[in-house]
Amino acid sequence: MIFAAEKGEKVCNKISYFWRVEVSEKQTIQQLLSGEIATYEEVYKTYFKALYVYAYTMLKDELQAEEIVQNLFLKLWDRKDRVQIETSLKAYLYKAVYHDSLNYLKHVKVKATYEHHATQVMKNERSEAASQRVMYNNLEDRLRAALNELPEQCRTVFQLSRYEELKYREIANRLQISEKTVENHMGKALKLLRVKLADFIISVVVLFTYLKNIYH
């Protein structure tokens, strides 16, 4: 009987202890959210170091871990009238640190992915622009050489049509020749240019197709 009484007393003591702890916890939360500075400072001193260590295990960054915990306590103070702590204070703080650390890691990953993509795009654009400049310069050189092989009047007709964008009638009036003659000169010029630049045009098409495949 004495043993049973002692056992019952121990159980009652444990229940009483946990009840006092629960009441104390609720009072601390109530005081914290009502803006009592002394309670806020006590909670800060009690949990800061442990929360910092917890954040560091996730982030592996001392400064960022400290910033995460500092920001948590700042938000807790600034938003105390909106904060709802339905679990224990300790559980609430650890859960908040976990989610804030996780969000930071996601942000870092997204930022790194974006920066890598942007860098690659810039490199590709510079490379493609350089290739286009080289091809354009080569095309100009080939075109100039091909035009020099044309008879003078044929070359003049082509230049007036393509560079000054004159109509056949305007070219005929300027050179004092018939529109039919202008048309014949243009046909002759275009035929020669197709022959002279055929291999180059094919190379340009192949190169652009290659660039498109590796950059997209």
The 10s digit of each residue's pLDDT in 129-178 is: 666 676 667 767 777 787 788 888 888 888 888 878 889 999 899 889 99
Q: Write down the pLDDT at residue 91.
A: 87
| Stated pTM of the model | 0.44
DSSP-based three-state secondary structure for 138 = helix
* Percent of the chain's residues with pLDDT above 90: 13
Determine the topology of domain 2-113 in CATH.
Rna Polymerase Sigma Factor; Chain: A (1.10.1740)
In the chain, what is the greatest distance between 2 CA atoms, to the nearest angstrom?
135
Nearest residue to 76 via CA among 23, 35, 22, 24: 35
Instruction: Report the CATH number of the 149-215 domain.
Output: 1.10.10.10
Nearest residue to 139 via CA among 210, 198, 212: 198
DSSP-based three-state secondary structure for 25 = helix
Q: Write down the pLDDT at residue 12.
A: 42
**CB-based contact 174:120 (threshold 8 Å):** no
Whether 16 has a pLDDT exceeding 50, the answer reads no
Mean pLDDT on 93-117: 80
| Half-sphere exposure for 66 (CA within 13 Å, toward CB) | 2
Taking phi over 0 as left and psi of -120 to 50 as alpha, with beta for the rest, 165 belongs to left
User: In angstroms, rounded to a whole number, what is the distance separating the alpha carbons of residues 88 and 171?
Assistant: 91
Cα–chain center distance at 169: 55
Domain boundaries, the chain: 2-113, 149-215
